[in-house]
Every structure is written in structure tokens, then in C-alpha cells.
């Protein structure tokens, strides 16, 4: 039983071993190596901690309840922070909201998914009153919306489909996968048939970010002097520079450059 549970950690442990070994040949600074080592070790430690803690708890609903109410607590804090500290007259309101109030919160995503799970399968529900469940969902979805996070949105969709057992490659899974692809197709058909201003405020700015999401990943060749283009395609540019760094030493394609390796972005960060 315990062996089967810990098998899921094998890939994480393998990554840690590869990253530590290949770092020997690239000689990173001690600071950068330790930083990366701690970053990749943290998920393993948290999974192990969660595993041993849950084995001490006889009622699994206690864990579900703790996660859900922790998410609700974060949501209440986020909403209050939004109301108190947001400058609603800011010219770039969405960027301002995210900069002041936070970019995302994965705990809230898990909380929503667990409530959806309990709604689908009553044996997993932690709520005795429907009113409490609806209040929690309202707070969580309000906070979720105020993050304006594409990553949280995609994560929530996949997590909800997963907990509802709709990601298996069976008839039902293929049906919901098809519906998801259809919804994405309709969304992007709409986004590319209407004019959306990059400098637009509010929801228009968020829709612009959704619109450029594919090109943000797959269009890395940009003019570094064009800051708007650089900002819109930053993830693709980082990935491109990372691959170009591997080309300097083709053997790095096998095991990477190890923990502590840095990506040369071809320009220096300036501080004001």
C-alpha cells in the first residue's frame, strides 16, 4: 500500500537527481543551485507531509473541510483587500488590480473543485446546509474572478473535469473533451472576429490577454526594442532563449544544464 502511494513521487525524485547531477558540469553559483534545489524539493516535502498528516486523520472529510474553509478565508481576505486598496480610477485597471491584490491562489481553485465534487457525489459533501455551500461558492467565485488569471481559469476547468471523472479516455471523457474544444473554438472565433484594444480597460484588457494567449506561447521572434511586443510574448521569448542556450551544448538536451543554470535573455534588467 505505502509503496503504491510513494510511486507517484518517482518522477519528482528523478528530476531532482538529474538536476543535481548535471549541475556538476555547469558549475552554477551556490546561491542559484540551492535556490533551485529547494524549489524542486518543496513539492516532495509537502506531498510527504500531507501524506503522513492525512494518515493520522481517520475522517477524510476533516481534510476536505480544512481545504475548503482555508480557500474561503483566502477569498474573503482577497475581496476585502480588493475593496480597500484598489484605485478604481487607475488607467490600466486590470493590471493594477492584479499588481495590488495578487496574481492567483491555487487553494481557492482546489476549494471550488472540492465543493463541485461534493455536489456531484453526496458522500464527499461537507456541508449540512445548502445556504452555507452557496455562500462559500459565491465568495470563492467572486475572488476567483477578481484575479483575472488565465492560469487559474484553465486549472479550474481541468481540475473540475478531473474530479468529476471526465478526463478518462472513454465515451464520456471524449464527449466532454469535445465540448471543451468546441467551447474554446467558439471563444477564439469570437475573439478574432471583434476588435479588442490592447490598451482597453476592464474586461476588454482581460479579453485581449485571452486572445494573445496562443501567440504568447508560439511566437517568440520579436523585436526587443518593441516593449509592447516583448511583454505580450514574454513566455515564448523565455522558452526560445532557453532552447538557444541548450544549443550551445547539445548534450544538455539529454539532462538539461542542471539546478542553478540561468537563461541569457540578451538584455540587462535595470533598476530605478
SS3 letters for 32-47? Answer: HHHHHHHHHHHHHHHH
With pLDDT > 70 as the criterion, what percentage of the chain qualifies? 83
Q: Tens digit of pLDDT for each residue in 98-138?
A: 889 988 999 999 999 999 988 888 888 888 888 999 999 99
Q: Is the full-model pTM beyond 0.85?
A: no
- Number of residues that make up the chain: 272
Distances (CA, A) of 3 to 7, 9, 45, 222: 6, 10, 17, 48
- What's the pLDDT at 76? 96
Give the pLDDT band (50/70/90) at residue 271. Answer: very low
Using one digit for the tens of pLDDT, what is the confidence trace for 56-94?
777 778 888 889 999 999 999 999 999 999 988 887 787
Q: What phi, psi does 226 have (nearest 5°)?
A: -95, 95
Report how far residue 5's alpha carbon sits from residue 51's, in angstroms, rounded to the nearest whole number.
Answer: 9
DSSP code of 255? H
Phi, psi of 132 (to 5 degrees): -65, -40
**Which range, 46-55, 100-109, 250-259, has the best average confidence (pLDDT)?**
100-109
What pLDDT is recorded for position 1? 47
Helix, strand, coil shares, percent, the chain, to 5: 70, 0, 30
The pLDDT of residue 272: 45
Greater pLDDT, 199 or 142: 142
To the nearest 10°, report the CA torsion of 260, 265, 271, 272: -160
Asked if residue 219 has pLDDT above 80, the reply is no
Amino acid at each position: 500500500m505505502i509503496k503504491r502511494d510513494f510511486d507517484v513521487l518517482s518522477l519528482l525524485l528523478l528530476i531532482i537527481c538529474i538536476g543535481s547531477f548535471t549541475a556538476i558540469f555547469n558549475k552554477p553559483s551556490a546561491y542559484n543551485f540551492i535556490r533551485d534545489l529547494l524549489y524542486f524539493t518543496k513539492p516532495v516535502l509537502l506531498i510527504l507531509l500531507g501524506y503522513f498528516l492525512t494518515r493520522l486523520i481517520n475522517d477524510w472529510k476533516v481534510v476536505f473541510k480544512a481545504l475548503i474553509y482555508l480557500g474561503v478565508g483566502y477569498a474573503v481576505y482577497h475581496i476585502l483587500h480588493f475593496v480597500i486598496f484598489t484605485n478604481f480610477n487607475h488607467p490600466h485597471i486590470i493590471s493594477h488590480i492584479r499588481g495590488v491584490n495578487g496574481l492567483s491562489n491555487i487553494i481557492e481553485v482546489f476549494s471550488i473543485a472540492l465543493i463541485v465534487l461534493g455536489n456531484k457525489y453526496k458522500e464527499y459533501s461537507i456541508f449540512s446546509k445548502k445556504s452555507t455551500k452557496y455562500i462559500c461558492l459565491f465568495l470563492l467565485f467572486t475572488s476567483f474572478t477578481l484575479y483575472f488569471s488565465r492560469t487559474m481559469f484553465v486549472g479550474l476547468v481541468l481540475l473540475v473535469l478531473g474530479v468529476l471523472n471526465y478526463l478518462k479516455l472513454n465515451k464520456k471523457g471524449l464527449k466532454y473533451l469535445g465540448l471543451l474544444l468546441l467551447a474554446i473554438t467558439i471563444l477564439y472565433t469570437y475573439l478574432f472576429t471583434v476588435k479588442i484594444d490592447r490598451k482597453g480597460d476592464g474586461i476588454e484588457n482581460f479579453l485581449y490577454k485571452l486572445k494573445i494567449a496562443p501567440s504568447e506561447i508560439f511566437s517568440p521572434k520579436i523585436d526587443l526594442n518593441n516593449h509592447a511586443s516583448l511583454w505580450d510574448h514574454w513566455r515564448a521569448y523565455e522558452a526560445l532563449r532557453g532552447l538557444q542556450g541548450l544549443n550551445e551544448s547539445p548534450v544538455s538536451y539529454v539532462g538539461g544544464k542542471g539546478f542553478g543554470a540561468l537563461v541569457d535573455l540578451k538584455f540587462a534588467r535595470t533598476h530605478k
